[in-house]
Structure 1
Amino acid sequence: MIKRNLLVMGLAVMLSACGFHLRGTGTNELAIKELEVSARNAYGETVTQLRDVLKSSGVNVHSGAPYRLVLTNEAETQRAASYAGSGRSVEYELQTQLSYDIQGRNNTVLLSDKLEVQKVYLYDGNNITGSGQESGQIRKEMRRELVQRMILRLQQLTPAQLDELQAKADERAKAEAAALEAAQRAQDAQPQQSPLEIPAN
């Protein structure tokens, strides 16, 4: 028994040295150390779980942070994928799509993207209660997977990259403002036509 335990421990150490982690046990280290997180449903399960994971990963989640992650839309869909022979069993494909923005100063959108998770489960018409519970459990698993994928996306970003995106967004905004001002000046410089006078009969 002791030998087997030592062998398991030895394998675990070797695998972790190679960079392998069991799902849920790896590090979630992020280069971004401050982030504001918001969602349309401010107290929804997805945004709540995301805040918790970010905090446990060492991110200071607070309002007024330099950058803001906004979960703009979360949509759940379900469709029949196939029918089993009995006629009462149906394979359903569940899908959850999460759209998000990363905003900088003045609520400028720096990045806009979406994540998708899909799962298939068997709905048994002879066991409606059990099938309903299974569907709910799968939805929870999908939400956890969405949160983990969002963390992976955030891990790929650095403050330097976000600063660069902010600088480009500021340049675009400045160029657009200058173009509008030039157009307004050109319009103001044009002579205004006097209203047409209609002679009285």
Structure 2
Amino acid sequence: MIKRNLLVMGLAVLLSACGFQLRGTGTTELTIKELDVSARNAYGETVTQLRQVLQGSGVKVYTGAPYKLVLTDEQEKQRILSYAGTGSSGEYQVTTVLNYEIRGDHDLQLKSDKIEVEKVFIHDASNLVGSDQEANTARAETRRELIQRMILRLQQITPAQLEAMQEMANNRAKADADALEAAKKAEAETPRQSPVEIPQQ
């Protein structure tokens, strides 16, 4: 027993020395330290787990933070990859697409993108309970991978990049406001034609 434990510990040391880390056990240090996280489904599993991972990574998640991560839409699709026939097993693929936005001051959109994850599981028509478990496991793994990819994307964004995106968004908003104001002014200065009077017979 002692030899076995020593062997496991030795392998763990060797693997860590090579830079290997088990999924979910590595550090997820982010340069963004404050973030407001919301979703259309405010109490959904994806946004709830994402908040937990961010907080575990040292990010202060709260309403009113300088930048906001908004999960605008999450869609799941399932399709048959292969099927052997009635009463047989088949391969199913579950695909989840997560659309998100990063917003800044004045709720201006700084970035918009999506993450797509696919998982394959076996559906056995003769074992519906087991197949349901397989499907639930595939969905849970898909969600976990979505969150991991989101964290990786957030890791690549620096405060300086956010400030640059905010400046660009401010400039776009100002240009749109100026164009709207100019259009209103031009409309107000355009003489209006009097209605044409049709002579009575």
Please say whether Structure 1 and Structure 2 have the same fold, judged by a TM-score greater than 0.5: yes
Give runs of ≥4 in structure 1 deviating > 4 Å: none
Mean CA deviation greater in 159-168 or 181-190: 181-190
Q: Residue in 2 aligned with 1:15?
A: 18
Identity, in percent, stands at 58
CA shift for structure 1 position 173: 0.9
CA distance in 1, matches of 2:6, 2:98: 47
CA distance in 2, matches of 1:185, 1:24: 57
Mean CA deviation greater in 28-37 or 158-167: 158-167
Q: Residue in 2 aligned with 1:29?
A: 29
Mean CA deviation greater in 147-156 or 173-182: 173-182
CA distance in 2, matches of 1:158, 1:200: 74
CA distance in 2, matches of 1:62, 1:3: 44
Q: Residue in 2 aligned with 1:144?
A: 144
Cα deviation 1:75-103 (Å, max 9, x = unaligned): 11110101136762121111111111111
Amino acid paired to 2:11: V
Q: Is the 8 A contact 2:96 2:116 kept in 1?
A: yes
Using structure 1 for the length normalisation, give the TM-score: 0.91
CA shift for structure 1 position 123: 0.7
Distance 1:14 1:92, change over 3 A: same
Q: How does 1:46-61 map to 2 (within 5 A)?
A: 46-61=46-61
Using structure 2 for the length normalisation, give the TM-score: 0.91
Q: Is the 8 A contact 1:15 1:21 kept in 2?
A: no
Instruction: Provide the alpha-carbon RMSD of the alignment.
Output: 1.8
CA distance in 2, matches of 1:75, 1:4: 45
Q: Residue in 2 aligned with 1:198?
A: 198
User: Equivalent residue of 1:191, what SS?
Assistant: coil
Q: How does 1:33-112 map to 2 (within 5 A)?
A: 33-84=33-84, 88-112=88-112
User: Equivalent residue of 2:18, what SS?
Assistant: helix
CA distance in 2, matches of 1:189, 1:10: 78
Q: Residue in 2 aligned with 1:170?
A: 170
Amino acid paired to 2:51: R
User: Equivalent residue of 1:134, what SS?
Assistant: helix
CA distance in 2, matches of 1:50, 1:168: 28
Cα deviation 1:114-168 (Å, max 9, x = unaligned): 1111111111111111111111111111111111111111101111111111110
Q: Residue in 2 aligned with 1:186?
A: 186
Q: Which runs of 5+ in 2 are unaligned?
A: none
Amino acid paired to 1:120: V
CA distance in 2, matches of 1:167, 1:151: 24
User: Equivalent residue of 1:92, what SS?
Assistant: strand
CA distance in 2, matches of 1:48, 1:8: 35
Mean CA deviation greater in 40-49 or 176-185: 176-185
User: Equivalent residue of 1:58, what SS?
Assistant: coil
Mean CA deviation greater in 37-46 or 82-91: 82-91
Q: Is the 8 A contact 1:93 1:121 kept in 2?
A: yes
